[in-house]
């Protein structure tokens, strides 16, 4: 069973900053696919009628700027929601480590710039295939519909076969403003909050679990 690394002395003045570092370590390894833990967060966006949530894959962690990057289809409703109001939350849960992470941040959409292009180029054909879907995600259909050309269905495509989907691909970049960490344990739960400014830790506090 995997553990979330804890500082040797929880009452030391550096304990919270060590936990903050470990949070970013786990985010980075989750994005790299090395630790499934925080790979599949739930992204919540604001809409005119409240909030909407969906599962997304954490793709890249830009630690220097305190940012997290995701792939999405520019036609999906979350993109319009983020364009209207970039305030979002992310909820991660690592089942093995029993650690939850709540993030509040500001999201932006990147379709043609270097963020989007580098993610497109780094993506595998398997992960990018869905951007060749003929219909906008969420389109109502008369009958079941895989939203994928027959020629691409059920197989791993070659790179050249998915290039046409580039127009539908974009990156969501979320700059983290605050994080709240909760570690459940039989030996005692722990909870802490962190405020960030431009990727740097500004303040950290223990809070009651």
Ligand X SMILES: Cc1cc2nc3c(=O)[nH]c(=O)nc-3n(C[C@H](O)[C@H](O)[C@H](O)COP(=O)(O)O)c2cc1C
How many contiguous H segments (helices) and E segments (strands) does the chain have? Answer: 5, 9
The total number of residues shown for the chain amounts to 209
Neighbouring-strand partners of residue 46: 51
DSSP structure class, residue 158: P
Query: Please, what is the minimum distance in Å from the beta carbon of residue 71 to ligand X?
Result: 5
Q: Which one of 22-30, 71-79, 154-162, 194-202 is the stretch in contact with ligand X (CB under 6 A)?
A: 71-79
Which residue, 15 or 82, is less far from ligand X as judged by CB? 82
Choosing from 40, 126, 167, 197, the residue that interacts with ligand X (CB under 6 A) is 40
Using an 8 Å Cβ cutoff, are 3 and 97 in contact?
A: yes
Using an 8 Å Cβ cutoff, are 13 and 62 in contact?
A: no
Query: Please, what is the minimum distance in Å from the beta carbon of residue 81 to ligand X?
Result: 7
Choosing from 2, 46, 57, 201, the residue that interacts with ligand X (CB under 6 A) is 57
199 binds ligand X (CB under 6 A): no
52 binds ligand X (CB under 6 A): yes
Give the C-alpha separation, 209 to 207, whole Å. Answer: 6
Q: Which of 204, 178, 196, 205 is nearest to 64 (CA)?
A: 196
Q: Which two tokens stand for residue 75?
A: 């036609």
Which residue, 16 or 171, is less far from ligand X as judged by CB? 171
Q: Which one of 10-18, 29-37, 54-62, 151-159 is the stretch in contact with ligand X (CB under 6 A)?
A: 54-62
Q: Which one of 26-34, 70-78, 147-155, 179-187 is the stretch in contact with ligand X (CB under 6 A)?
A: 70-78
End-to-end CA distance of the chain: 22
Which residue, 40 or 156, is less far from ligand X as judged by CB? 40
Q: Which residues bind ligand X (CB under 6 A)?
A: 40, 52, 54-57, 70-73, 76-78, 137-138
């Amino acid at each position: 069973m995997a553990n979330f690394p804890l500082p040797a002395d929880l009452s030391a003045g550096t304990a919270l900053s060590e936990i903050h570092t470990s949070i970013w370590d786990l985010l980075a390894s989750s994005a790299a696919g090395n630790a499934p833990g925080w790979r599949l967060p739930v992204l919540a966006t604001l809409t005119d009628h409240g909030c909407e949530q969906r599962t997304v894959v954490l793709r890249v962690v830009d630690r220097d700027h305190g940012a997290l990057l995701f792939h999405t289809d520019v036609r999906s409703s979350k993109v319009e929601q983020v364009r209207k109001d970039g305030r979002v939350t992310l909820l991660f849960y690592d089942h093995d480590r029993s650690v939850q992470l709540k993030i509040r941040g500001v999201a932006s959409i990147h379709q043609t710039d270097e963020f989007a292009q580098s993610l497109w180029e780094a993506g595998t054909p398997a992960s990018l295939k869905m951007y060749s879907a003929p219909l906008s995600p969420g389109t109502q259909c008369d009958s079941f519909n895989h939203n994928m050309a027959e020629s691409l269905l059920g197989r791993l495509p070659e790179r050249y076969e998915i290039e046409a989907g580039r127009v539908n691909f974009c990156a969501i970049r979320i700059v983290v403003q605050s994080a709240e960490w909760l570690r459940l344990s039989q030996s005692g739960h722990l909870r802490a909050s962190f405020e960030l400014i431009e990727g740097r830790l500004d303040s950290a506090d223990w809070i009651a679990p």
